[in-house]
Amino acid sequence: MSSPNVITKTEYLTGVIERITFHAEDTGYTVARMQVKGFKDLVTIVGSFPNIQAGQTLQVQGSWYNHPKHGQQFNMTGYKESKPATLTGIEKYLGSGLIKGVGPVTAKRIVAHFGLDTLDIIEYEIGRLVEVPGIGKKRVQMIQSTWEEQRVIKDVMVFLQGHGVSTTYAVKIFKQYGHESILIVTDNPYKLAEDIFGIGFHTADKIAFKVGVSPWSKYRYKSGLLHILSEAAEDGHCFLPLPELVNSAIELLRVDVQEADEETLELLRVDEHQIDGEAVVKTAQEMTETEDLIVEQVGKMLLCYKPTFYYTEENLAKLLLKQLENPINIDLPRVKDWIQRYTQSKRIKLSPQQLEAVIKAASSRVMVLTGGPGTGKTFTQKTIVALWQAMGKKIGLAAPTGRAAQRLGEMAGLEAKTLHRLLEFDPAKRGFKRDKDNPLPFDAVIVDESSMVDLFLAHSLLKAISPTCQLLLVGDNDQLPSVGPGKILEDLIESGKIPVVTLNQVFRQAASSAIIRNAHQINQGHYPKLEVISYTPKSDCLWHDGGTEPEHTVQVISELVTEFIPELGFDPTIDVQVLCPMTRGLVGTRNLNQVLQQLLNPPSPEKAEVSRAGMILRVGDRVIQLKNDYDRQVYNGDLGMVKAIDTSEKLVTIQIDDRDVEYDYADLNEVALAWSISIHKSQGSEYPVVIMPVSMSHYIMLSRNLIYTGLTRAKQLAIIVGSSKAIGIAVNQWNQKQRYTRLVERLG
């Protein structure tokens, strides 16, 4: 599908809905055919309606665009309902099915009796319907109830659209709150940010100003504080110190107030002192009384948690300590004898560290195995699995991502699952079926890539582990921490409570890879030894000077994917992943995705496409999931490929982990293009070829573990594009951003 020819001029059409082609109950997304005066053929209108029926007379606002397959359509951005003026229109309206108790035959009788006064009679004198043959008092009550329901929907939609709420969000608001929509939006529009995905603090704030909510409303202060904590969680924090929370909230509230109307701005010039730390602190104190906020005192510092974060962190520590209370007694000589026989039969030799890891895994209730690339983590795990099998244990294998689980299963020769599937997520109850009352049916569980496991997933896992089960967490602690809140693997190691074995001997075969050698060089704070790129490379780790200008770096990446990579025998559409330190800027994921999409998956008449929120998706595009979607059972960071786009049904099919997942157009804000993704989002995945831009424009994000993580995602070839100065800065910056967690202290 080629890009639609959108005419930006806003127009108004008035007509009667003849038929509904498509209507999605959950989002309100609708395709309908409307008879408009002056048009010979029916007009196709597309937009969001809470409920719509044939026979309704609407005035719709929007613009025209040409759909390459379905022709000219009218993209509706707002509407209001008009009463039909003709007897035929009234009859069609009433008989459309909009009102329970009134079908086409009854509608004909009502209109025949009351004529053009029919709608006024139903509106103001509905009891008179008993005058119509065949309509009794019971049916009148049914008609009255439905008529009032429809009127409420119309009133809500008119109110919301009148206050600048888009039709898409207006539908979601009505679906969420029903008859109480106007009351909630008028009283506390900030509740929308808590309850409706896609409406955050900033959108709720704009609505609040338009409905006249005071900039100093307690609801606004409370929502601002919760928004700051949510943003902190996205940066990995489990809490914020009170001064940091208050200062950030003051800044947020002041900045957003500047977007208010002139009257509000005039008030602010007089009363700006009211948005101060004292008022915000008072709101925080009130939130602790209502348990919307947990404040923990540590020394002289007050730490502010969202309740779910506080109780989850506290309970995770308790579960771990309880698990450690159950020691395991093993016959050590027998275990050592088995290891000797096993290694001899396999004609291999374990290093002292690997031997220690296998013995500890046999004797520990919970254990951490960590180490960088090439240090033998995989073979150590394989030996542990074989030992546990020899001991008659039933083993469960899991990893945070589908690809990591697949690699783990191939290594062990057993089925491995994602953690969400291992714990059996139940969309109906928005939780896992496996918990303390229904524990996992295993004697031992291995979780690979555990540096990716965040606070909430770790807690769910520990809840599902029986007291007699053993847990082995495997990961590389030098990689970036999880995308979600916490730094579980690092905290467990730092606590000193959990047995840990660190593998740091790089084996000879692995050391032949420059990717692995340079990863360890970077990890030790040394500048990597990179081969300058050429068409006859001798190394699997190359460097291309990206220059000092971002435009030049983008040009270099474009030439690599279109010329250099294909020359080496790789398919850039499936083998190459561009990994970026940042999302913004010319050398960020957003811009590079547009550039790479145009190069690797350009538009063509044969390829369907859809434009949504400034993003164009085509069949064949690589995409990434941006949030946990428990209904579809896809999770933040999952990668997929657009397989089909149904422009009639407004559905996009994306293949994720060998299964097809359908998205309504209205839900496409959950996904983004993934020709280029952030290094954070790449964790747990491996790619044949990685291209990693590292430039001075990424300065605020540059760190050693960021570059280390990106480099170790490459299996066969890694190409760093950028300035040597930026690489040097990254290598010298370690763990630049600390995360606020207290798991270590709770375990102590």
Q: 722: annotated binding-site residue? A: no
Strand pairing of 425-426 and 416-418?
A: unpaired
Rounded distance, CA 502 to CA 399, Å? 19
> Whose structure tokens read 């994602």?
418
Strand, coil or helix: what is 742? coil
Greatest CA separation found in the chain? Answer: 99
Q: Which two tokens stand for residue 460?
A: 């769910």
Q: 162: annotated binding-site residue? A: no
Q: 300: annotated binding-site residue? A: no
Q: Identify the helix (H) or strand (E) that includes residue 78.
A: strand 71-82
> Whose structure tokens read 């502010």?
304
DSSP string spanning 619-664?
TT-EEEE-S-BTTTTB-TT-EEEEEEEETTTTEEEEEETTEEEEEE
Task: Give the long-range contacts of residues 567-576, CB within 8 A, separation 24 or more.
Answer: 567/535, 568/537, 568/717, 570/688, 570/689, 570/717, 572/600, 573/600, 573/601, 573/620, 573/622, 575/687, 575/688, 575/689, 576/687, 576/688, 576/689, 576/690, 576/691
Task: Give the long-range contacts of residues 548-552, CB within 8 A, separation 24 or more.
Answer: 548/696, 548/723, 550/585, 550/586, 550/587, 550/695, 550/697, 551/586
Q: Which two tokens stand for residue 398?
A: 């899991």
Residue 175, phi then psi, degrees to nearest 5:
-60, -35
Bridge partners (DSSP) of residue 79 are: 60
Q: Is the dihedral of CA 281, 287, 289, 292 positive or negative?
A: negative
Rounded distance, CA 503 to CA 377, Å? 7
Residue 7 C-alpha from the chain's centroid: 32
Q: 377: annotated binding-site residue? A: yes
DSSP string spanning 569-608?
T--TTTTEEEEES-SSSTTSHHHHHHHHHHHHS---TTS-
- What are the residue ranges of helices labelled H in 163-235? 167-177, 181-187, 191-195, 201-210, 218-234
Q: Which two tokens stand for residue 114?
A: 């009351």
Q: Which among 305, 211, 295, 214 is positioned nearest to 253, based on CA atoms?
A: 214
DSSP state of 563: I
Q: Which among 151, 496, 186, 486 is positioned nearest to 321, based on CA atoms?
A: 496
Count of beta carbons in the 10 Å neighbourhood of residue 195 = 12
Q: Which two tokens stand for residue 469?
A: 């089960």
Residue 304, phi then psi, degrees to nearest 5:
-105, 120
DSSP state of 187: H
Q: 728: annotated binding-site residue? A: no
Q: Which residues are documented as binding site?
A: 374-378
Q: Which residues are documented as binding site for ATP?
A: 374-378
